[in-house]
Amino acid sequence: MARKVPEINGGPMADIAFLLLIFFLVATTMDIDTGITRKLPPLPEDQPERKDDPKIKERNVFEVLINSSDRLLVEGEPMNISELREATKEFIANPYDKEDLPEKENKEVRYFGEVPVTKGIISLQNDRGTSYGMYIKVQNELTAAYQELRDQKAMRKFGKKYGELEKERQEAIQKIYPQKISEAEPKNIGGN
Amino acid sequence: MSKFRKGSKKEMPTISTASLPDIVFMLLFFFMVSTTIRQTTKLVQNDLPGATEVKKLEKKSLVSYIYIGKPIPRMQKTFGTEPRIQLNDQFAKVSDIRDYIITEREELDESEKPLMSTSLKIDEETKMGIVTDVKQALRKASALKITYSAREVERRELLN
């Protein structure tokens, strides 16, 4: 006599599968890589030597040195890392057109018309003994200075933060505050 | 008429949910397969520095990774405690970076090659000497787009 085997309830199986599904969904998105992006300069040989390379005036260069004991020397003066952001902002923006801060050049920029654009360049030098943590802190402060200025400009003109703008508008603001951070060819700059 | 009346005995026939797990399992397998990330076992200690101005890295397939840091305790007997470079699953020298970048670049389509970037995952305590060497090697391999990998932190935390 064929007895009817009671059917196993398959309902909870879906729950188990869902649990696994959610686990994988969460676990695989955890590894988002974040970081500070930079563009390395091409090797000197790759670039044809420009004869008319204009000598960059001293007032247009913001010199940041980090020595092997992680101390900062900015424009010849020791500085604390917490002051670096403001100092950099003042250098780039030069709000009062000071004599010893960078020159500006009027440029045509979309949406803005004729705007004075700074010629300032930040020169970052480090020692081989500098710790990477400090180096990143400095890079971070420099980036932050640019970012704050761009945000300010974007806020005033478009009423939005720089990151929320459309690409074309971002490019316009990039032209006003071009991010120029140059890293010198490696060398030992004192310290042990 | 009587034919229909027979079935309507107040109780609705329950819809069989037996096939629901199948659907969910299919989804599960899809996600499991499509999200396989190339996992490298880290041979170096890798405490990333914190930063506030971080950006997310897009398109993982276009990114190659370079790890630098002290060898993990298990490896310290053989490799010492000096920071070392790790490419894929093994320790490497600065001179190996060029080949590594070239192989990584070969795997990409022609149109994707200019978009390739390198993520430097470097331990906080590493000295810049080795980092500078790696950067020079990358310049030689013309892999100019780089990212200094960092954790996102609050500004207060950073300056302490």
Distance from the Cα of A99 to chain B's closest Cα (Å) equals 31
DSSP label at A5?
P
DSSP label at A159?
S
Expressed as residue numbers, the domain containing A120 is 59-182
* Residue B111 C-beta-side C-alpha neighbours within 13 Å: 0
* Residue B159 C-beta-side C-alpha neighbours within 13 Å: 9
pLDDT of residue B122: 92
Distance CA A62, CA A58 (A): 8
Distance CA B124, CA B45 (A): 10
Let me know if residue B74 belongs to a domain.
yes
How many separate domains does chain B show?
Answer: 1
Interface check B63 vs A, CB under 8 A: yes
Give B48-67 pLDDT, tens digit per residue.
888 888 888 877 778 888 99
Which residues of chain A neighbour B147 with C-beta distances below 8 Å? 33, 35-38
Let me know if residue A34 belongs to a domain.
no
Maximum distance among all Cα pairs of chain A, rounded to whole angstroms? 106
pLDDT band at residue B35 under the 50/70/90 scheme: low
Give A122-141 pLDDT, tens digit per residue.
888 888 888 988 999 999 99
Let me know if residue A43 belongs to a domain.
no
pLDDT band at residue B123 under the 50/70/90 scheme: very high
Expressed as residue numbers, the domain containing B131 is 50-159
How many separate domains does chain A show?
Answer: 1
Let me know if residue A40 belongs to a domain.
no
Let me know if residue B10 belongs to a domain.
no
Let me know if residue B18 belongs to a domain.
no
Partner residues linked to A39 by β-bridges: B145
Let me know if residue B105 belongs to a domain.
yes
Among residues B131, B122, B127, which one has the least CA distance to residue A67?
Answer: B127
By mean pLDDT, which of A29-33, A58-62, A75-79 is the weakest?
A29-33
Let me know if residue A117 belongs to a domain.
yes
Q: What percent of chain B has pLDDT over 70?
A: 89
**Higher-pLDDT residue of A53, A174:** A174
Query: What mean pLDDT is predicted for residues B128-142?
Result: 89
Query: What mean pLDDT is predicted for residues B71-99?
Result: 88
pLDDT of residue A192: 42
Let me know if residue B142 belongs to a domain.
yes
Let me know if residue A50 belongs to a domain.
no
- Residue B79 belongs to domain with CATH number: 3.30.420.270
Let me know if residue A7 belongs to a domain.
no
Residue A51 has pLDDT above 50, yes or no: no
By mean pLDDT, which of A80-89, A161-170, B24-33, B79-88 is the weakest?
B24-33
Contact B126 A21 (CB under 8 A): no
Gyration radius of chain A over CA positions: 26
| Ordered DSSP codes for A106-150 | EEEETTTEEEEEE--EEEEEE-TTSBHHHHHHHHHHHHHHHHHHH
Mean pLDDT across chain B, nearest whole number? 82
